Chain A
Amino acid sequence: MNDTVNTEADPDVAEEETSLDRRAALQGNRLEWLARMIEIRRVEENVQTLYNDGHIRGSTHLSNGQEAVSVGIAVAARTTDTITCTYRGHGTALALGVSPEGVLGEICGRSIGCIGGLGGSMHLGDTTVGLFPTFAIVGAGVPVAAGAALTAWVRERDDASIAIFGDGSTNIGAFHETLNLAGIFKLPVVFVCENNLYGEYTRINLSTPVEHIADRAASYGMPGIAVDGQDVDEVVAAVQGALDRARAGDGPTLLEMKTYRYSGHSRADPASYRPDGELDAWMQRDPIDILRQRLLEKREASAEEIAAVDGRVEERVAQAVAAVLASPPPDLAEMLHHISATTS
């Protein structure tokens, strides 16, 4: 699953690093949080370039602007916790540990992709770090995460699960049915809503009669907490708190991450429906800038160290792009594999 790059430039980094290694690198290393957030941003910039150059088919849904949510979750969760996510999942996959080759390769339909090029942009996954193949149907991953929590509940283990979904998902039945179910059994699941203000092309106030998604938790007997999704420290603290609560047997939590996607819904969407100035206002609170500033202010990293991170990530992503472009498409036979146990 964890296809690695064959590169002469830096064999130590590229050939041995697994998704688990990349996940472990985040632990206790806030400079690495910054690096990962920058990596997500750079990878998604390359998605646009690769599309322009004709390497990407189908749809892509960027998460630029939401990097702090992805990385915050990856820091707080254990690799044994099951995570379900939507088709806006490039950031989540990278944060949790999937390599840039795995993500970009999948988006480009190459065999180096994290599921071998069979899925595409909307289906990124690697269960070695807990990530189920991301769900391309709105709301579909929410009950599945609760089901993973049900397994922990039945076996009386302290595993937990996390469902990541958008504000648009909170108007579909699966969301309400699942929160209700999780509320009844006090399942160890954390519901993380990335409220980026738009469900596809429609602003939240036109689709949702409450201002705060977190308020919806009250109907299901669980706490609902609104979180500044642009501040990775806030995200880590909130997810950690909710996971602790889940593991202690106190039940589920709904976390609403207030965030923003810089791009439209998908590649086809220029997002011309956004009011003037809204994007600029959110970019003033860019999650990468916020963390970079904080590391400097708190003297956790020097300007030189941060500049080095920028350079390292730039190089790493360039390496990934080269590896993806050199990777062949999947073998024809792969199309008929893994449909059932008899076709493995």
Chain B
Amino acid sequence: MNTTKLRVRQAVLQALNDEMESDPDVIVMGEDIATAGGAFKCTEGLIDTFGPRRVIDTPISEMGFLGAAVGAAATGLKPVVEMMFIEFIGVALDQLTTEASRLRYLSRGQVTVPLVVRASAGAGLGFGCQHSQMLDYWFRGVSGLKVCVASNAQNAYGLLRAAIRDPDPVVVLEPRILYGERQDVVLGEEGIVPLGVARMVAEGSDVTVVTAGAMVSVVEQAAPLLSGTSCEIIDLQTLVPWDKRVVVDSVARTGRLVVVEEGPWTGGWSNDVAAHISAELFGSLRTPVLRITCPDAPVPHSTELERRFLPSPEYVAEQTTQLIETGRTPAPWWAREEKEL
């Protein structure tokens, strides 16, 4: 197997390079992605290899260039659009949620939109409340769109390649806090991570912890803190469509489900997982489903507050321990704080 050590940002770049090499219809577009190589250096050097007609610097006009990417995808190209920060798609949302996702339906299959929107996302770097959100909830409820989240260099590489090959629009979220992480990556066809398939991070028998994105390593760090409890950890990788089979099979064995999400308490994807498992396995659950999320609040800038905003390994361990010991779901920290105040 062709394995190499890459930072997450380099894995993204490698995926773009490999797909562009194998398919001349793949182009990349975005702000400062060509000459400057991207704000997070995920597209560095591509212009030298593939030239200015396939690696396109756009003006700062997301609706214009995302819309143009929709039209290009609908007429035969496979554009990969970089949104520097996922929040920037707000001014262009119509093109993805109302146009790209509907063209196949409205043309009865005549027009397809093999478009990828990839974006840096998530908290942890002090960018403040307009540059730190995951925002997967802007896309998850829109039929016709797929949404995935990278959690390491391997799936940053493999999910992106799968997304580019997908015949429909896909949003790929890259937690920017991970861009600098350096890990082993299997390259080539073997390294491709199919959409809709979860990854078994660790096998265990007492509790299933379902998570995604930057929370995967948080949960991995939490597991050893749960003395005497064996955790099965599942990285969903794709949020829409999510891998129901793997999660149901796991919880059927462990009898307990904890979902850890970097996202809001209200409207987060962990609600979908909790509802599905509760309905499917109601009689065989040993405890209610526990959700561990961020509070319904903007992401704070201050280091201390942002650290508290995100689920930490200690918090995940503490909440999970309480669940197992009491058989009831502990209140989230902010609800306890409110009571104390």
Chain A residues within CB distance 8 Å of chain B: 1, 82, 84, 115-116, 118-119, 123, 125-128, 132-133, 135, 137, 140, 142-156, 161, 173-174, 177-178, 180-181, 184-185, 337-341, 344
How far apart sit A310 and B247, CA to CA, in the bound complex (Å)?
66
Size of interface on B: residues with Cβ below 8 Å to A: 44
Q: Is the CB of A181 within 8 A of B108?
A: no
Q: Could you tell me if A142 and B67 are in contact, using CB atoms closer than 8 angstroms? A: yes
B201 contacts A by Cβ under 8 Å: no
How many A-B residue pairs lie within 8 Å, measured between CB atoms?
148
Ranked 7 nearest A-B pairs via Cβ: A147-B71, A143-B67, A177-B64, A133-B106, A177-B61, A144-B71, A147-B68
B73 and A132 contacting across the interface, CB-CB below 8 Å: no
A151-B75, A340-B168 known; A144-B91 Cβ under 8 A: no
CB distance from B49 to the nearest CB of A (A): 15
Q: Report which of B68, B103, B168 forms a contact with A181, defined as CB distance below 8 A.
A: B68
Across-interface contacts of B53 in A (CB, < 8 A): 153-154, 156
Beta-carbon nearest neighbor of A177 in chain B: B64
A341 near B112 (CB under 8 angstroms)?
Answer: yes
Q: Which of B72, B95, B167 contacts A154 (CB 8 A)?
A: B72
Q: Would you give the 0/1 interface string for B81-96, flagging 1 where the beta carbon is closer than 8 Å to chain A?
A: 0000000000100110
A-side contacts of B166, CB under 8 Å: 341
Taking CB atoms, residues of chain A closer than 8 Å to B182 are none
B105 at the interface (CB under 8 A from A): yes
Q: Is the CB of B68 within 8 A of A146?
A: yes
Cβ contact within 8 Å between B75 and A148: yes
Q: For the complex, what is the distance from the CA of A128 to the CA of B107, rounded to whole Å?
A: 11
A181 touches B59 (CB 8 A): yes
Q: Which residue of B lies closest to A124 (CB)?
A: B106
- Report the Cα distance A181→B144, complex, angstroms: 27
Smallest CB separation, B67 vs chain A (Å): 2
- Contact (Cβ within 8 A) A137 B99: yes
Min Cβ gap B96→A in Å is 11
Q: CB distance A339 to B144 under 8 Å?
A: yes
User: Which among A137, A154, A173 is the interface contact of B54 at CB below 8 angstroms?
Assistant: A154
How many angstroms between the C-alpha atoms of A155 and B72 in the bound complex?
A: 11
Which of B58, B76, B102, B146: most chain A CB closer than 10 A?
Answer: B102
Please give me the residue from chain B that is nearest to A181 by CB atom.
Answer: B64
- Tell me which of B71, B75, B106 contacts A123 (CB under 8 A): B106
Whole-angstrom CA separation of A338 from B113 in the bound complex: 12
A115 closest partner in B (C-beta): B108
7 A-B pairs within 8 Å (CB atoms) are namely A115-B107, A135-B99, A143-B70, A144-B95, A178-B68, A180-B59, A338-B104
Q: Which residues of A contact B102 (CB under 8 A)?
A: 133
Would B168 and A148 count as touching, CB distance under 8 A? no
Q: Which residues of A contact B94 (CB under 8 A)?
A: 137, 140, 174
Q: Is the CB of A147 within 8 A of B107?
A: no
With known contacts A140-B94, A181-B61, A147–B103 Cβ distance under 8 A: no
Q: A161 vs B74: C-alpha distance in the bound complex, in angstroms? A: 13
